[in-house]
């Protein structure tokens, strides 16, 4: 059973990862196809993304040309915006 500290650390490091994978078509190696993968993962190591890419390399025929990814935290401090003016109607 994970401790509260471990759960808190997981929540803070949990990010939404979007990866754009360019791969070569198995029958036409000169053509590239795009695959978009999105999942929650733990930053900065991104183990789920690495696991998916290893699965791809073992089980799929189209070799990966390149991978571009970005991530954003799912849990982050609230942003406060104070109004610069107030207008009243009626």
Note the Cα 4 to chain centre separation in Å: 25
Q: Which position has the token pair 């789920």? A: 48
Positions of E strands within the chain: 14-24, 32-42, 64-73
Round to whole Å and give the CA distance between 30 and 88: 63
- Please check the confidence at residue 25 and state whether its pLDDT lies above 70: yes
Round to whole Å and give the CA distance between 78 and 32: 41
Q: 3 or 81: which carries more pLDDT confidence?
A: 3
Q: What is the DSSP pairing of strand 64-73 with strand 14-24?
A: antiparallel
Question: What pLDDT is attached to residue 58?
Answer: 96
Where exactly are the structural domains of the chain?
4-73
43-47, 57-61, 75-79, range with greatest mean pLDDT: 57-61
């Amino acid at each position: 059973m994970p401790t509260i500290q471990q759960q808190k650390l997981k929540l803070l490091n949990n990010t939404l990862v979007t990866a754009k994978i360019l791969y070569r078509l198995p029958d036409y190696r000169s053509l590239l196809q795009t695959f978009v993968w999105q999942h929650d993962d733990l930053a900065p190591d991104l183990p789920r993304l690495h696991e998916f890419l290893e699965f791809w390399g073992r089980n799929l025929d189209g070799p990966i040309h390149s991978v571009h990814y970005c991530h954003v935290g799912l849990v982050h401090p609230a942003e406060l915006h104070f109004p610069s003016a107030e207008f009243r109607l009626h």
